[in-house]
A and B are shown apart, each in its own frame.
Chain A
Amino acid sequence: MLDRINKAQNMIETACKKLGKQINIMEVCGTHTVSIFRNGIRTILPDNLKLLSGPGCPVCVTDQSYIDNVLQIADNKDCLIATYGDMIRVPGKGGSLETKQTTANVKIVLSSEDALQLAKDNPDKTVVFIAVGFETTTPATAVAIKEAHADSVDNFCVLSGHKLVVPAMKALVSTKNDHIDAFLCPGHVSVIIGYNSYKEIVEDYGRPCVVAGFEPIQIIEGLAEICRQLADGKTKLESVYSAVVTAEGNTIAQKIIEECFEPADGYWRGLGEIEKSTLKIKDKYSKFDALKRFDITETPVEDTSGCQCGEVLCGLIDPPQCKLFGKTCTINTPIGPCMVSSEGACAAWYKYSLKEKP
């Protein structure tokens, strides 16, 4: 493996030397972010190659209004909240699921299937599944909705916070900002959506897109491919994760998503409202839609904490440039979601980075 690493590292160095200016590559996946920091990848890259952590951590991009809605539902004593672990520490109005609730009505689940089982095991409670995540987790949520429908598990519902990756990438490069030279595209999401989904970013927006897996060597090889393209003046769509990612993706999973969800305009933390970027539950399954069951409207809330997670997610600042980073916002006392989530850029920076630690 060391041979492959050396080869890729040399390729990066040669390309960056040739380019002779700062190159900004955005990784659009929280798992990439964590792997990059945990393996110290930034520390072996040339000084003029900068990695930006993009909006790829599901907890981080979830708008404040969604968190507040979750906390509001959790106040209902007849409800059981079924959530992925990362969500329980995100602060909202008056606390977080961790501080506001007890483990009695907040259950950590690893899958939508576990949430549905919770509903079957607790018929006297309404189980609300806090469904966040990109195209990786959406098919499983859709399967749970379909199963709840088929088995008439009427005490189960879903608060959909599901999002689509590509509209957010387009929003980032279609603004006037030209700080992103290329994208390292997510591995898991691409398994579902297929690498052809990034075609528009490459062809219409002129940014190289390379799909990579999560092992350090796969990330480094992905970066090497991007650097080579930039140095050669090329803009191409590539996958260095060809063992699992195909051009079309998993069409069965795509169909299941389409059956239960439809794209809708929606709010992202930091990026604001993005056209057709979130997934809402189709009318056919509306009885499993927590928004309808609890008569909740999604209204964006202004964040007054001074947290700059939004700018971090857009790659406009590095976490240490945020006024709160390492001062009032730490791993133990997180203010913004990027510090809460294990996949957040601020948490990764705080935990693993050697430099710029206050």
Chain B
Amino acid sequence: MKTDKNDRILLAHGGGGQLSDELIRHHILPRFDNNTLAELTDSANLELDSKSICFTTDSYVVKPLFFNGGDIGKLAVCGTINDLAVAGSKPVALSLSLIIEEGFEFKLLDKILDSISQTARDNNVNIVTGDTKTVEAGAADKIFINTAGIGVKLDGIDLGFKKIKAGDKILINGTIGDHGMTIMSQRKDIKFQSQLKSDCAGLADLITKLLEGSNGVKFMRDPTRGGLAVTLNDIARQAGLSIEINQADIPINPNVQTAADMLGFDVLDIANEGKVVAILSAESADQCLNICRKHPLGKEAKIIGEIVKPKNVPIVEMTTIIGGKRIVHIPYGRQLPRIC
């Protein structure tokens, strides 16, 4: 019983019987061809070069499933890779778990699996283990993906909040807000038409080059949900130091700015999926900036501010384009478009 391309996922595809086997052998395995996965053992057996590893997991429920610049599959691979990379490790293996709603079209599933396979290849990681579950129609929204990942710690790299000192510089590898504004503009309930493109990308290569080319990197984080605002506030709070950024130095695509202004959003609060914020020693800032700018994912890299001693409690303060000052606050959890 071979599934036709126009077929849809049935509950039985998650039942552990013949249909499950079909799903795995015809749709999943051919796309993630590697020896570890091919063994189909209960757990993946991995030989790693280091005793020290990073391990992370993330779930992906993005709507729409396909957006300009990416899709849920690409996001599921890049998101986990980026979490490993910013911790100073080289991503080597991912797990892939799919929760699929009954009735989901195979042609869409295949498109997502192709994207996962391509993104994993582009970023030199293998999908080494996985799981598929199906749920009744209405119990999930089309497809949810979880990926977990293992990264091997890069030699001699030790990153952490504790290393951050007043005077350190803050780098970002390009424009902010592209992913979040793209998703918002394409959502069914916000029919905002625009030419925006998500920045969804795997940052492992850029980050490895940065860490290998300079010893001045002290801490890194990918500013995903909550955007630059949450990431900078987390850094300030955890390091016990304040942050001063300069609005004029923050790269923003003018289309993203316009879309955010129209909806009443602050671009600093908007999610990114291909950005890294790096805290650098002042001496290494130029060197790191040069390394970033030579990489396709860091051409628009900028130093956007610095770490300073807190006056009272740690805060994030921004000098605005007109020379005014304001606080950068952690946004409320949900972006609500304004009335007028």
**A residues apposed to B, CB below 8 Å:** 1, 5, 30-31, 34, 37-44, 58-59, 84-89, 107-110, 114, 132-134, 136-137, 188, 216-217, 220, 331-332, 341-343, 350-354, 357
Contact = CB atoms under 8 A, between A and B. Distances in A.
Given A133-B340, A342-B336, A37 B326 contact: yes
A134 B325 contact: no
Contacts of B319: 40
Contacts of B329: 331, 350-352
Interface stretch (B35-43, B103-111, B185-193, B297-305): B185-193
Nearest to A214: B261
Contacts of A132: 339
B70 to A, nearest CB: 24
A109 B338 CA distance: 10
Interface in B295-326: 317-326
Given A89-B336, A354-B327, A357-B327, A108 B189 contact: yes
B264 interface: yes
A179 to B, nearest CB: 24
A136 B322 CA distance: 28
Contacts of B264: 31, 34, 342-343
Contacts of B322: 5, 39-41, 44, 216-217, 220
B182 to A, nearest CB: 16
Contacts of B266: 38
Nearest to B312: A357
B337 interface: yes
B327 A85 contact: no
Interface of B is mostly: loop
B326 A353 contact: yes
A350 B189 CA distance: 29
Contacts of A85: 336-339
Nearest to B340: A136
15 contacts: A5-B322, A38-B326, A40-B320, A85-B339, A86-B338, A110-B192, A114-B189, A188-B340, A216-B320, A216-B322, A342-B336, A352-B326, A353-B327, A354-B325, A354-B327
Interface string B264-282: 1010000000000000000
Q: Which 5 A-B pairs have the closest CB atoms?
A: A40-B324, A85-B336, A40-B326, A351-B329, A352-B326
Given A40-B320, A216-B320, A342 B326 contact: no
A350 B330 CA distance: 11
A331 B332 contact: yes
Between B190, B191, B336, B339, the greatest number of chain A beta carbons within 10 A of the residue's beta carbon is seen for B339
A28 to B, nearest CB: 13
Contacts of B337: 84-86, 108, 110
A340 to B, nearest CB: 9
Interface residues of B, number: 25
A346 to B, nearest CB: 13
Contacts of B324: 39-44, 216
Contacts of A136: 340
Contacts of A38: 266, 320, 326
Contacts of A331: 329, 332
Given A43-B324, A132-B339, 5 more contacts: A40-B325, A87-B339, A88-B336, A137-B340, A343-B264
B336 A86 contact: yes
Contacts of B263: 110
Nearest to B330: A331
A39 B339 contact: no
A58 B339 contact: yes
A216 B338 contact: no
A136 B324 CA distance: 29
B250 to A, nearest CB: 13
A114 B187 CA distance: 13
B107 to A, nearest CB: 25
Nearest to B262: A110
Nearest to A350: B329
Given A352-B327, A354-B317, A332 B332 contact: yes
B196 to A, nearest CB: 16
Given A39-B320, A342-B264, A354 B340 contact: no
Between A108, A110, A353, the greatest number of chain B beta carbons within 10 A of the residue's beta carbon is seen for A110
Contacts of B320: 38-40, 216
A5 B324 CA distance: 11
Contact of A110 (B190, B317, B318, B332): B190
B276 to A, nearest CB: 25
B63 to A, nearest CB: 12
Nearest to A330: B332
B338 A108 contact: no
Nearest to B332: A331
A24 B322 CA distance: 22
A351 B190 CA distance: 25
A22 to B, nearest CB: 20
Given A110-B190, A332-B332, A39 B338 contact: no
A332 B329 CA distance: 12
Nearest to A89: B336
Interface in B189-207: 189-192
Contacts of B190: 108, 110
A137 B326 contact: no
Contacts of B318: 40
Interface string B237-275: 000000000000000000000000001101000000000
